[in-house]
Structures are given as structure tokens and as C-alpha cells.
Structure 1
Amino acid sequence: MELRIFTEPQQGADYEDLLRVAKATEDNGFGAFFRSDHYLKMGDASGLPGPTDAWLTLAGLARETSTIRLGTLVTAATFRHPSVLAISVAQADRMSGGRIDFGFGSGWYADEHTAYGIDLPQTKTLFDRYTEQLAVITGLWDTPEGETFSFSGDHYTLDGAPGLPKPAQRPRPPVILGGGGKKRTPALAAQYADEFNTPFMDVESAVAQFERVDVAAKEAGRTTPIRRSAALVVAVGRDDAEISRRAAAIGREVPELKANGLAGTPAEVVDKIGAWREKTGVSRLYLQVLDLSDLDHLELIGSEVARQLD
């Protein structure tokens, strides 16, 4: 089981905060540092000093880390033209020496689109556009050097694009898709995903969604496996007082976190991870760390939880 750290910097963090967490992620033996892709805070958080751009952040971290993988859960398809996004991600992959994972979603948070004047179409159009974006981005990456890529869709048209720069990883960085959609999401995963992620679901819902993806992959004639992963909020403490302190710091109650996330002592969390692995077949967990000032939390998870996992 690989553990990855997943952050939500729109709640209030600048690049230096994220750099500290990324370095602690690397120092404590986690597999990757991931971040969300949002431009507006959610809930009661201050959001100060303001949003950081996901791919600017990851490009910087690519030069200031050396071993961990870097990525998004998930890049919003509404924010960037797919050709521009393909170039940005490929460049970040080259800057990192091939350590980028590309999590990609359709976009959903209406308030941030309204606040910044970004178009958020109705669901069908949104997903149609997202589908074309996946074809464009992977098509640009997959096109051999010296050849060109063209695409004609309802929302995007490319004519003779050189598909440069190429990512350091060939043919492309791993693509992570996810979510709870019952039809189109599994079908897209079957076509494009190297990994499928169930974000903040209970075990039963995750199992059902993984099964839908498996069915879609079989129907599509896919033979390569799709890795299973999940994202869960985390709050680990050596005793009840430390667990309660960490829960309070992120505005959550301990019983709720134990029911819906990974909360408790290291032994309790190890047991819950084991149950998740047994029931769902996940081999990777994204631990949503919401208090980015608490680097001791990462040290505790790395030393007392990760070391007990295979």
C-alpha cells in the first residue's frame, strides 16, 4: 500500500507553505505530494493569502524535490484549454525528471467559476467537452516526434499540432480519473485511465464504482489493469487528546472522522487501511491533510503508519 499526501491549498496556503509540506512528504517516505486545483476557498476557511495555481506550484516543486511524485486531484478541465494544459503538464514532467501524475476532472465548483468568470456549462456539455479534452491532451502526448496531431470535435479543433514538448515519461504521464459517475465516467476510465480514484466515498460505494469501471474496461476490450486508489481525510494521534486536537484544527468531530476517514491512533488507522485494501483492492491512498502547519502529523504517519504497511 502506497500512501500519498493530498493538500487543499485554496483553503489558505502560499507556495512556501506547500514547499514545506512537499519536503516533509519526501523526508517522511511518502510516495507523492498532490494538490487540488481550485481558485476559491470552501466553507469557513480564510483562503488567505489567496489561491495558488496548481501547475505553477507543481513546476516549482519539480525543481525543489527529487524523489516524490507530484500531481493533482484533480486538474479542472474548465480552467485551461487542453492544448495549453498538455504543454504545461509536459513541461512540468520534464522539469521533474518524469515524476508527474496527471489527475483530471471535468470541473464542478460553481462558486469559483462565477467568481472568476470561468464558464461552467450544463452537465452534458461539460462532460462532452471534458471527453474531447482527454482526447486532445493524450493525443498530443502520444503523437511521435516529427509527426503532427489533428482533432476535429464539437468543442475543439486542432490542425497539424506538433505535439511538443513531449513529457519525460513516454508515452505520457499516468492519467488518473475518478468520481462517482455511473456510466460515462467508467467508460472514460476504460479508455484513458491508468488509475481510478474514489474520492471520499465509503467502502461500499467505492467497491460498486470499481466494479463499474471493471465492467466498462471489459466491454471496451481493455487488457491492461487500472490501478485502484482512494482519497480519505486523515487525522492520526498518539492518544485521544492528540486525535481530538487534530480533528478540531480542521473543524471536524472525531466520531465523524473515524466513520468517514482515517482517524485514530496509528494502530487503528493501520487496521482501517487493511480493511480498505481487503474490501476494495486499492493499492494507493491519498491522505487529505488539511492543516498544512502540522508537519509533525506527517512525521507520525510516516513513522508509525506507513512503516507497518506492505
Structure 2
Amino acid sequence: MKAVQLQKYNKDLKVTVNEISVPTIQADEVLIKVAYAAITPLEKLTITGAVKLIQDYPKPVTLGNELSGTVVEVGQSVQSLAVGNVVYTRLPITRIGAFAEYVAVKADLVTTIPKNLDVKSATAVPLTGLTAYQALTEELEVEAGKTLFISSGSGSFGQMAVPLAKSMGLKVIISGNTRAKEAFLEKGVDQYIDYTEENYWEVLSDVDYVIDTLGPKEFEKELSIMKSGGKIVSLINAPNKAFAEKQGFSKFKTLLFTLVGQKFDRKAKAQGVAYRFIFVRADGEQLKVITDMIERENIVPAVDPRIFNIDEIETALDYTFNQRTNGKVLIQFDTEYAH
């Protein structure tokens, strides 16, 4: 089968399309014929080696973190899924490989796609949905009635995070672009700050929770709007001691991450705020909760109309990371699913 593989870390987003064997499954796994896989920010971080401190992959490694497809083989001990089920998943950090024609994955990390979505749009859910869910429930440990701010929240992450946060009883404020304003107000956002017209750090204060999607340059501005005792979680800043301890890393790695993240910890502590970093993991039970929410709220994530095939992978990576897209960019593997 064909698979997109990384031979060595590089800054130019260079990958290769190789012929490799179809994986054989264990008793607790299913074999999925991949319909679509999505290109996510993690691909760039993986190719460039930016996450090698967290997960250093032996090369060559098949890339890709989230996918949709059809179950074509079921392990002996699997009860939850059957051949023919149309499913989706975020693959485990240690065993990525969605950019391939077939993928073997533990059945408990897989669930059937939401009834209100087609296979294409479902592909855009797992990574973003799980990131939002884990950020809210595990890192921020949100409490109903409190206020959440999401910086630059009008993209695919906000599409998942906003309805989740509202369902947890939070007051939700986001900053974003002009064209997304009405759509997010319809989703129940309590306050939408158009960043072309006003600066969130000049109009907000006493915020309990912040989800940072913008990185180090925004960190102090985000802290300035928070109340003492609040929590901020970043999707892209540096990991820190709390992250390393939660992952159960070695003493050496924990010390390393303590040093890497200490400037963020220090700045947050000066404001009376706790800093957290998230690197989203696979979780089938959480994906079922997200699936139920997507069906209940009729959430349809945005997918870019331009669909690529595996041989166009380098063009697809360039398009995703260097050009303006309109939703998640997908690679199509199963030609039975029409563009």
C-alpha cells in the first residue's frame, strides 16, 4: 500500500510516498481502509522535529494523526465494531500513520462517525474535538458559571471548543475575524471581539480561563485579562514541568521541560495564574462524547473544498501551511468516496 513517510526531520516539509506492507492487526485492533486523512498543525511540528522532545519517531515514520474510513477487518477480541462500520479516530501519539491506505488501530480508540456528517466532514473532528475536550475538562478543569476566552477562536478549533464550553455552562468570549462573527454568535458565543476593530486586552478583564492558540507573543496580553486564581492552557507554547509530570516522563525529561517552560510558569505565577500545556492524546470514550455533541448540536466542521490525493502530498502541505485555506485540508485515499 502507499503511505506518506518522513525520512528525516526538515524545515522544508519534505516527505516521500513509499510502498509499505498492509499492517496486520492484533486481537484488540481493527484494520481501517482509510477514506480521508486531515492535515493538522501536528504534521508540521512532526516534520520539522519541533515535537521530538515529546515524541521522537524512529524513521521512516508514516505521518498523519486523524482519519475516517471503513472497518475491513476486526480482531478476535473486538466486540464494539464490525466490518463495514464507517469510523473515525485520532491515532495514538506513539503510533501515528493516518496518511496510508490502511491503518491498524486499537478498537477502543475508534468510534462510528456522527450521523449528521458525511465521511469527508467527519475527518475534521477527532483531533480538534479531543483537543478542546481535554483542554476544558483535564487542563482547565472548568466550572459552570465561569468565563472562558479563546484567542483567535474563529477557526476550526473554535468550532468544536465553543459548543463544548457552552454545554459545560461557561460564558464564552472569543476573538476572531469579521467574516466568522455572525456564525459564532449563532453558536452561542457571549461576546465576539473582532480583532480588526478592537484589542481584546483593552476590553476584557476578570477572565477565569484562557485557551491560547497564538503562542508566546500573545502570552502576556492573555495573562493581563485574567483574574487571580485562573488557568491558562496553551496549544502551542512550550511544555512545562506540570506537563512532564502528567505524562510520567523520566527525571531527565522532566527537568528539561521544567527549564523549557519556566518562563511561562513564572509569568503566569506573577499574575496568580496556573499555566498548562496540552498535547492531545487519543481517547475513544471522549470521542464518543464529542460525537454525541456533534449530533445534538448539528455541528458541521469546515473542510476546504480543495481535496488532494496521496501523490499531491507536498502540494497539500504547502497549501495547508503557506496559503489561505477554508477549513481543514484533506487527503483522499479511498476513491469510492467522491470529491
Give TM-score scaled by structure 2 length. 0.29
Structure with the bigger percentage of strand:
2
Q: TM-score, normalised by structure 1?
A: 0.31
